[in-house]
Amino acid sequence: MNFIYLRQNFLQKATFIQLLILIATADVSAQIKHTLKGNLIDSKNKTSVAYANIKLQKANISSMSNSEGLFAFNYNSSTEIDTLIITCVGYNSIKMPLQLFTDRDFKDLILVPNTIVLNEVVINNLNPEFILKESVTISANRYPSPAIFKGYYRESVKRDSFLTKYADGLVEYYVERKKDKALKTELRVLQSRAKELPIQEEEEKINEFNSLISINKIIKFISLTEISPLDSNRFQFYDYTISEFSEANKEIYRIDFEPKSNNNKVVLGGKIFIDKETKLILAIDCKVAAGSEKNLKSFNFLGTKISAISAGIYIRFESNDESYGIKYIKESHGILFSGKKLNQKNEFTSELLITDLQTNNCSPFTNGTYNKRSLYSRGNQYTFNYWDNPKLIPNVSQESTFLEKWQGK
């Protein structure tokens, strides 16, 4: 037997195996995950900047800040030479090296509001209603149809400001625009979890509510005229003003709207941002306008007065050369129950983040459609920890505390 040959052959194989181990080890070390966390703050009034787009340029990873201005997502160590880009309509963009986040802890980032730059004479010659009507038509026509919107949905219920119920999940919406411009929609839920934390019952308190916001219908805001200030048939009830500013080499219209003081037909006030060149709507923020609370609906039932006390709709759109569509929707409502023994406030919030859009080979779902109003009703039906996806919006602080108690941390 040739022992010299065997020895050389063994050494060659051993060297090759060691090389494989080194490569594997290098690959593992190159893919170590880190968490990027930050807090966005308005430079002028020191408030949180919500629903901003957060993106790593090279890795092409993106997320959004939540309603408290917080964002957090994972990235691999191999992308540390990347660039962090933060954009939020109405603010100057931030572009900075990722290496500045060396401590992996929350970092406060200051966003500076844009300055209005258009001459007032030019503004006075613009018709905000005409621009808005044109933008609604152009934006709606850019939506692909039929299409499947894939995303992450979550809902919560608060009783007297205390979070009592929470549910989230992965969803798919089939959307088709009919010839009469009506939308055909179907929902399929792929994964879900739901939890209610026990709370001490108080006499006459009600704690049986699931979300009053329909998971099936939140996608309706794809039809922009579902939002009253964007419906030309309701323009007569609003006062609109327009201004303009520059943002990332774009000219942006900002249309502010408020209910007219002499009517009780509408209650929402807020602002709409529109790309001046493409006429596409970029963002919508609206809530009950100051002074319009008295026009919110209320009715009596078995000696109890049930009153709407708040409402809000926040929408962000995503636009590039190839596509345009809704990126994020948040809807919220507040209800007050009052009577001789009952005094209770309930808040209902739902959010939908679109993570993917399918436009090829789309057809209505043949099975597995979900027709219940709330996701909570589906309960816990999941096969993996989908909530760890780095593209998802972080929970607000109260939701995070709720989930920690739920998971026993």
DSSP 91: B
Decide if 275 contacts 250 (C-beta within 8 A).
Answer: yes
pLDDT confidence tier of residue 121, bands split at 50, 70 and 90? very low
Can you tell me which residue has the tokens 């009952």? Answer: 342
pLDDT over threshold 70, residue 284: yes
What's the CATH number where 61 sits? 2.60.40.1120
93 and 193 fall within a common domain = no
Q: Is 54 exposed, middle or buried (0-12, 13-18, 19+ CB in 10 A)?
A: buried
pLDDT over threshold 50, residue 30: no
- Between 103 and 179, name the one with better pLDDT: 179
Task: Return the amino acid letter for 64.
Answer: M
DSSP 60: T
Q: Is 197 inside a domain boundary?
A: yes
- DSSP structure string for 185-254: EEEEEEEEEEEE------TT-------SS-TTTGGGGGSGGGSGGG-GGGGGGEEEEEEEEEETTEEEEE
Task: Out of 55-64, 84-93, 159-168, 325-334, pick the least confident.
Answer: 55-64
Q: Is the dihedral of CA 388, 392, 397, 401 positive or negative?
A: negative
45 and 141 fall within a common domain = no
pLDDT over threshold 80, residue 82: yes
Question: What is the overall mean pLDDT for the chain?
Answer: 82
Task: Give mean pLDDT, residues 357-382.
Answer: 92
| Structural domain count of the chain | 2
pLDDT confidence tier of residue 28, bands split at 50, 70 and 90? very low
Domain boundary among the residues 111, 142, 167 is at: 111
Domain boundary among the residues 77, 111, 145 is at: 111
55 and 196 fall within a common domain = no
Q: How many CB atoms lie within 10 A of CB 53?
A: 19
Decide if 192 contacts 390 (C-beta within 8 A).
Answer: no
- DSSP structure string for 253-283: EEEEEEE-TT--S--EEEEEEEETTT--EEE
216 and 316 fall within a common domain = yes
Domain boundary among the residues 94, 111, 128 is at: 111
pLDDT over threshold 70, residue 407: no
pLDDT confidence tier of residue 59, bands split at 50, 70 and 90? confident
107 and 253 fall within a common domain = no
Contacts of 209 by beta carbon, 8 Å cutoff, 6+ apart: 157, 159, 165, 346, 348
The pLDDT, as a whole number, for residue 53 is 87
pLDDT over threshold 60, residue 14: no
148 and 184 fall within a common domain = yes
The pLDDT, as a whole number, for residue 80 is 62
The pLDDT, as a whole number, for residue 178 is 81
- pTM, to two decimals: 0.84
195 and 49 fall within a common domain = no
Task: Give mean pLDDT, residues 127-148.
Answer: 91
pLDDT over threshold 90, residue 174: yes
106 and 145 fall within a common domain = no
What's the CATH number where 246 sits? 2.50.20
The pLDDT, as a whole number, for residue 44 is 87
Q: What is the pLDDT of residues 217-230, one digit of tens each?
A: 999 888 888 899 99
202 and 343 fall within a common domain = yes
Q: Is 187 inside a domain boundary?
A: yes
CA 350, 353, 359 angle in degrees (round to 5)? 130
The pLDDT, as a whole number, for residue 117 is 56
Q: Which domain holds residue 64?
A: 33-111
Q: Is 140 inside a domain boundary?
A: yes
Q: Is 9 inside a domain boundary?
A: no
Percent over 90 (pLDDT), the chain: 38
Q: Is 10 inside a domain boundary?
A: no
- Between 386 and 183, name the one with better pLDDT: 386
What is the distance between the alpha carbons of residues 334 and 239, in angstroms, rounded to a whole number? 25
The pLDDT, as a whole number, for residue 130 is 94
Q: How many CB atoms lie within 10 A of CB 234?
A: 15
279 and 351 fall within a common domain = yes
The pLDDT, as a whole number, for residue 365 is 92
pLDDT over threshold 80, residue 105: no
Task: Return the amino acid letter for 300.
Answer: N
Q: Is 330 exposed, middle or buried (0-12, 13-18, 19+ CB in 10 A)?
A: buried
pLDDT confidence tier of residue 19, bands split at 50, 70 and 90? very low
What is the distance between the alpha carbons of residues 89 and 177, in angstroms, rounded to a whole number? 28
Decide if 229 contacts 257 (C-beta within 8 A).
Answer: yes
Q: Is 184 inside a domain boundary?
A: yes
244 and 268 fall within a common domain = yes
- Between 67 and 27, name the one with better pLDDT: 67
163 and 218 fall within a common domain = yes
